[in-house]
């Protein structure tokens, strides 16, 4: 089984992925932010490094998805291959931070990869407002994220909502995270687990 967690920067994807992996005894596939050779350069000079970064992420997640399906294990993945292609790359292109040539090359590569992979069995989308994202980004204190603008986050949020609205790759669970603290409050985590159980095991659904 393949479960994936999606959401904007600062929504809590990695944290929730780790907590759910521990609860369900799933193997976790986390986003590579520590060893990523492009992140620092990208946030300092987006136009120069946007294509390099997006290809790096695309390659990394394509390998993850192939490994997930090949392994046959129960795996939860932090961010999907679709978010890069439907949200981050188009946003960079629209902002003039990725050239037409690079974007078309990127899209062609993604289309080829997409034809070779399946979507997750369950996608968990963490919906968040901009103020909450800014607070969470500030709280975790990653140096390379200090230059992220509210305009950039807002554009990403709009694209996330549009993508989720048309998502058709499998089961979808939307969780509004603004009023949840699934780290400090076990009840909040429990309510999320109840909703996941309902999707996976066909139990009655509960509203958050």
pLDDT of residue 141: 63
- Ranges of each domain in the chain: 2-201
Average pLDDT, the chain: 89
Q: How wide is the angle at C-alpha 74 spanned by C-alphas 68 and 79, nearest 5°? A: 60
Q: Are strands 27-29 and 2-7 parallel, antiparallel or unpaired?
A: unpaired
- The answer to whether 5 and 124 have CB atoms below 8 angstroms apart is yes
Query: 48, 105, 6, 156: which is closest to 40 by C-alpha?
Result: 48
- The answer to whether 78 and 17 have CB atoms below 8 angstroms apart is yes
pLDDT of residue 143: 66
Predicted model pTM: 0.88
Q: Is pLDDT larger for residue 39 or for residue 124?
A: 124
Query: What are the tens digits of pLDDT across the range 99-124?
Result: 999 999 999 999 999 999 999 999 99
Percent of the chain, pLDDT > 90?
Answer: 68
Stated as kind and residue range, the H or E segment containing 136 is helix 130-140
pLDDT of residue 144: 60
Q: Which of 35, 40, 78, 188 is catalytic?
A: 78
Q: Assess whether pLDDT exceeds 70 at residue 98.
A: yes
pLDDT of residue 147: 65
Q: What is the mean pLDDT of residues 56-66?
A: 91
pLDDT of residue 204: 44
Architecture of the domain made up of 2-201: 3-Layer(aba) Sandwich (3.40)
38: left (phi over 0), alpha (psi -120 to 50) or beta: alpha
Q: Is 78 a catalytic residue?
A: yes
Query: What are the tens digits of pLDDT across the range 129-163?
Result: 999 998 888 877 666 666 678 888 999 999 999 99
pLDDT of residue 208: 47
Query: 162, 168, 160: which is closest to 114 by C-alpha?
Result: 168
Query: What are the tens digits of pLDDT across the range 170-208?
Result: 999 999 999 898 888 899 999 999 999 999 887 444 444
């Amino acid at each position: 089984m393949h479960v994936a967690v999606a959401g904007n920067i600062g929504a809590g994807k990695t944290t929730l992925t780790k907590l759910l992996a521990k609860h369900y005894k799933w193997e976790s596939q986390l986003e590579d932010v520590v060893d990523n050779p492009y992140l620092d350069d990208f946030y300092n000079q987006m136009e120069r490094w946007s294509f390099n970064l997006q290809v790096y992420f695309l390659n990394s997640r394509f390998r993850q998805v192939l490994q997930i399906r090949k392994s046959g294990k129960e795996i939860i993945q932090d961010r999907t291959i679709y978010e890069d292609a439907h949200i981050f790359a188009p946003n960079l292109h629209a902002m003039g931070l990725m050239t037409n040539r690079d974007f078309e090359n990127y899209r062609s590569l993604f289309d080829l990869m997409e034809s070779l992979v399946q979507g997750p069995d369950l996608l968990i989308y963490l919906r968040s407002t901009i103020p909450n994202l800014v607070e969470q980004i500030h709280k975790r204190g990653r140096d390379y994220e200090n230059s992220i603008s509210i305009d950039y986050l807002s554009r990403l949020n709009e694209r996330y909502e549009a993508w989720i609205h048309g998502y058709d790759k499998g089961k979808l669970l939307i969780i509004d995270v603004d009023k949840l603290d699934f780290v400090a409050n076990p009840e909040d985590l429990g309510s999320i687990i109840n909703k996941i159980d309902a999707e996976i095991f066909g139990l009655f659904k509960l509203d958050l």
